Structure 1
Amino acid sequence: MDLNYYDTLIAVADDCPVDGAVVPAPRAGKRTVAVVQFEMIDADPGGLTQEDVLFGSWLNRQEPQPPAAEWVELRERFFATPQACLRSSPLPKKYGWGLLFDEAGRVRLCPMDSAEYRDIVTGEVTGVKILKALRSRRA
């Protein structure tokens, strides 16, 4: 089953608390989900799929780190149960980062205060489906 998005922008949530993209910081000395996901996507823009980011961010937070030889089996077990998609990621919910997927399902960061983001959400760029990130609070 393919859980990836194609030609899609996950736009920031309606209740996103920032006016521009903010790089997430560790909290209490620990790397949060937002930090891990930001670092993964920023280090390899257009190189990872949603599935890669979801599994990688889970894997990066495991203590102790499982051996690489087990990753294929762990990934299969991870996706055997339902997983929240990147619409629930803190990046578009709290930090002002749109997540832009290309035709191959590869994701890169798209800051909400960029011209590219604005052009996509206003419809000046066509061929990109827009999905809003999930709200943090009920309307």
Structure 2
Amino acid sequence: MAHHTTNYLTTFIEVADDCPTDHAVEPPASEKPTIAALHYRLIAEQPYARTSDDVIFETYAQRNGVALDDTAARDAFFSKGQPCLRSSPLGKRYGWGLHHDDEGRVALVARDSEQYALLAADPAIAHTRAMRGRRA
């Protein structure tokens, strides 16, 4: 079975061109956590502990009552292409950049931080942007 990955290596996903906030905002908490809230919690609580695949599968698992250690479910989930973290609301709407280290593990970087400015200007890493929230 083919495995489609969403992981990036040594890459900085900058906020979307049309991100409505000029500073990073924590997504609102709610009774049924949103994708944004789940992504935020998984990455913010343990920076550089999970890959993009881990974050995306754990989000799916939590929202659908799937066990995190169900390797068959994970294999089935990734047998089809999945949207990567470029489509996460964190970079589209909430002002968070996503830095992937050389092992693919991800951390949040507030758009209004010095670290964001340094990463955005770093020629040694790959750069991409979060997807726009709406068509231009």
What residue ranges of structure 2 are gaps of 5+ in the alignment?
Answer: none
Secondary structure in 2 matching 1:61: helix
Secondary structure in 2 matching 1:80: coil
Q: Counterparts of 1:101 and 1:59 in 2: how far apart (Å)?
A: 22
The two structures have a TM-score, normalised by structure 1, of 0.90
Give the aligned CA root-mean-square deviation in angstroms. Answer: 1.4
Q: Who is 1:131 aligned against?
A: 128
Q: Counterparts of 2:119 and 2:45 in 1: how far apart (Å)?
A: 23
Secondary structure in 2 matching 1:138: coil
How far does residue 68 in structure 1 lie from its aligned partner after superposition? 5.2
Q: Counterparts of 2:6 and 2:135 in 1: how far apart (Å)?
A: 25
Same amino acid, percent of matched pairs: 41
What residue ranges of structure 1 are gaps of 5+ in the alignment?
Answer: none
Q: Counterparts of 1:137 and 1:94 in 2: how far apart (Å)?
A: 11
Question: How many equivalent residue pairs?
Answer: 133
The equivalent position to 2:38 in structure 1, one of 36, 39, 43, is: 36
The two structures have a TM-score, normalised by structure 2, of 0.92
Q: Who is 1:3 aligned against?
A: 6
How far does residue 127 in structure 1 lie from its aligned partner after superposition? 1.1
**1:62-101 to 2 correspondence within 5 Å?**
62=64, 65-67=65-67, 71-101=70-100
Q: Which moved more, 1:8-17 or 1:125-134?
A: 125-134
